[in-house]
Amino acid sequence: MSFARSQSFAGRQSFIGKAAAVIAALSLPALPVCAQEAPPVVPVVQELPANAPRLIVAIAIDQFSADLFAQYRQRFTGGLARLTGGAVFPAGY
């Protein structure tokens, strides 16, 4: 490829890039016209039962493996026995 030919190719590429930038810049103001309107937001009102809890406490015991918890579950008394009645996630990592 000759030097003159490579310059005209580079000039053509530059022109195409500039033309694409101008077209993109001119089309940006038209984008809001093309946008769809969001549907109206309808508030959801849920009626809570009278005995609904006002506070939920979550306790996470780290470094206490699930297999040990299951192995000694029958021997727990007091507070640890109360924890066995809740949710246990043996693979919660």
Quick one: pLDDT at residue 33? 65
Domain limits, the chain: 1-34, 53-93
Quick one: pLDDT at residue 34? 65
pLDDT cut 70: percent of the chain above it: 74
Quick one: pLDDT at residue 91? 72
- Assess whether pLDDT exceeds 60 at residue 13: yes
Residues 6+ apart with CB under 8 A from 61: 83
Residues 6+ apart with CB under 8 A from 1: 9
Quick one: pLDDT at residue 31? 66
